[in-house]
Structure formats: C-alpha cells, structure tokens
Amino acid sequence: MNGVANLLLAGKSCVGEIAFVDLKAQQRLIRERIESRLKAVLDHGRYIAGPEIDELEEALAARTGAAAAVACASGTDALLIPLLARGVGPGDAVFLPSFTYNATANAVLLTGATPVFADIRPDTFTIDPEDLRLRIEDVRRTGVLRPRAIIPVDLFGAPADYNAIGALASREDLFVLADAAQSFGGRFNNRWVGDLAPATATSFFPGKSLGAYGDAGAMLARSEEDVEKWRSIRWHGTDEHRKISMRVGLNGRMDSFQAAVLLEKLSIFDDELAARRSIAAIYDERLSRIAQPQRQANGGQSGYGYYSIRIENRDAVAESLKLAGVPTAIYYATPLHRMAAFSSYAPAGGLPQTERIAGEIISLPMHPYLSPDQVDYICDAVEAAARQAGR
C-alpha cells in the first residue's frame, strides 16, 4: 500500500473532513449575531443604502487606516469604478500581471483601455517591478498607447512590492490601483492593505478572507481626492441627491444585507487572521523542504486568503492529495494572456515566469478553523504525495 493510501486510512478516523474554506464553522460561531443583524435590516426595510452601509464604510476605513471606504457591489466594480473616475479609457495602457483572476483584465477592458501584461517574480508570484519598468518603457518608446495606470495584484493575500511599484509610479506619473481582492488583512511596511496605494479594490465574495453571503466589494482611498466620484459612479453617475446624472455610471451598490453580514464577520476578523497566520507558519516550516511556499515581498505580510506553494509534478500531487481527502485548488492553471478573451494582448515572447509557475502552483486548505491535527495531516499528505509523484 502506498504512503497516501496509508494516510487516507489513518487520517479519515482522526481528522474528520477537511474543507478548503470552511464557511460553516465560521457561521456556527456567529450565527445568532448575523441573524439579529439581518433581522434589523428586515425591520427598517432600507434594503439599499441602509445604515449598515455607512457603518461598514466607517469600520473598513478604521480597520485599514484608509482615509475613506466606499462599499460596492463586487470586487470587479471596485476595480472598474476607480479607473472610470480617473478617466482611464481608449488609448491608455494599464499595466497588470497575467497571473491573476480574469476580473483584473476585464475591468481594464470595460473602460476601453488596453491591458499590458507584465511578468511576475518566481518567489512572490506578484508583479515583477523590473519587468514592469521595461514594459512601461516599451509602451513609451512605441508611442501608440499612453501609460496611465498600474494594477498590482496581491495574489493569495500577499501584498505586491509597493515600495518598488510606488517609486516607479511616481517617476512615471501613473495611477496605482491595488487589486486587493484576495489580501484584506495583509500588511506592508506596517500599513494595512487599503492604505498601500492611492486606490485599493477589495472583494467580499463569500470565499474571500472577509466574505459576505453574496457578491460585495469595497474601494479604499488613501486621500479624499476621488471618493465623491466613486460614490457618484457607484450610483449611476448621479449628483449628491441621486437625481441628476453628472457622468456615466453604473449600479454598483452593495445591499444592506451584505453589509450586515460583513459587520459581524469583521468583528471576528482579527482572531481569524491570527489563526491563518499560525497555520501558514506551520505550513512554511513543514513544506519548504519539499516545495517552494510563496515568499513575501520585502516588508510584506500576507493576509493568507490562500496558501500556495510551487511543487514539482503538481498534477500528480493534486491527484494524490484528493485521494487522501485533502482538497486543493489551482489558481491559476491558465494565465490570462493564454485565454481567448485576452490572448490578443499577449506580449511577444510570452511571460516566461508566469507560464512556468502556472504549471507548478497549488493552493492548500487555508481557513481559521483548521485544527492542529488537520494541519499536521495535510503536511504529512503533501510530503507523501510529493514522494510518490517523484518516484
């Protein structure tokens, strides 16, 4: 019998079912509080723009150190609205990694601007500032597009290298919009995600580290400069009375029920973050012998939305882990520049690091309710799977 099958037999009895993300355990903890929040919305009946929205915006700004937070309907809208507010559009180049979720590129294309993909660093899996610099130079030299904005993506929760990106952006006069859909709770140079760039977009999709019970997102601002425009665009581009259209906008509102859920989840977020960090520390320690865990950019600390490693024979490892009862996910097997919707923007010469890492990356279970036994079991299972796949 092989090592993985042994583990499966031993593990089933002692660790119980392992979830990739466990929303049920979290709900058991705060179910009553969420119910009473939802009941309050039913009672006041302001399903849109209820008092929970203002309360959540204040709480998010206070939690992150951002100057202001604007709640919206999704992480995708949180990316789109700040770009629209800055007038990003046709003829503009927006720089972003290809190793991300499609929403990052969709937001760029929905404005009419052109996505310019940059490669990632093989250790942090986030945008490579040196490759980014070369691509900005190239766009300037070619002269067809005007460089306008950079969207660094805090992949798996790890803040991109905001020191290098911030310096490059001020030298090149580019707007930085952080895609922090996966990194709420991350830190960089002792500042929280939300306060690392002029504008930050985050997602509260249910599986995110701070997740609603439906779609939701938020924009976080380092200064008040764009905030009124964000509020306007979120509400069909209207004025402060929500009557007269001042600009083109969309229905990008968060509803009061989602804000109610998020307020309760925010109240336990710090404890959950501490648990995520302890689990990640054990994974780091146990797995670095056989795999390459994601490293942090200098000064960065992940919010551990996901925990991801590079490992040889990734597909065989994933198969063995499945047999051992360990759920995994591959974010992302296909980089955006290899997908039909975005392949016309693929850089000549490809993106070598992105393409290599897409074949090696795997995400392991990561949520605050994993027991020490489960974490131990997962590490044993990864070790056994790697051994077996290497044979």
Ligand X SMILES: Cc1ncc(COP(=O)(O)O)c(C=O)c1O
The residue (of 75 and 325) whose beta carbon lies closer to ligand X is 75
Nearest in space to 324 (alpha carbons), one of 276, 369, 387: 387
Question: Does residue number 210 form part of the binding site for ligand X (CB under 6 A)?
Answer: no
- Longest CA–CA span in the chain (Å) reads 72
Query: Nearer to ligand X by C-beta: 75 or 147?
Result: 75
CA 21 – CA 18 distance, rounded (Å) = 9
Among 18, 21, 72, 76, binds ligand X (CB under 6 A): 76
What's the CA gap between 326 and 283, in Å, rounded?
14
Instruction: Report how many residues bind ligand X under the rule CB under 6 A.
Output: 15
Question: Is the CB of 104 or the CB of 256 nearer to ligand X?
Answer: 104
Nearest-angstrom CA–CA distance, 328 and 330: 7
Question: What is the C-alpha to C-alpha distance for residues 282 and 6, in angstroms, rounded to an integer?
Answer: 22
What are 288's two structure tokens? 């670095």
Q: Tell me the three state secondary structure of residue 217.
A: strand
State yes or no: residue 115 binds ligand X (CB under 6 A).
no
Residue 386 C-beta: closest distance to ligand X, Å: 27
Among 75, 152, 157, 249, interactor with ligand X by CB under 6 A: 75
Per CB under 6 A, contacts with ligand X among 144-183 are 153, 179, 181-182
Q: Choose, by CB under 6 A, the member of 64, 100, 124, 353 that binds ligand X.
A: 100
Q: Which is nearer to ligand X, 119 or 179 (CB)?
A: 179
Stretch that binds ligand X, among 100-108, 110-118, 241-249, 283-291 (CB under 6 A): 100-108
List residues bridging with 217 in a β-sheet: 72, 203
CA distance 13 to 39: 40
Q: Does position 358 bind ligand X by CB under 6 A?
A: no
CB 78 within 8 A of CB 217: yes
Residues binding ligand X (CB under 6 A): 74-76, 100-101, 103-104, 153, 179, 181-182, 203, 205, 215, 217
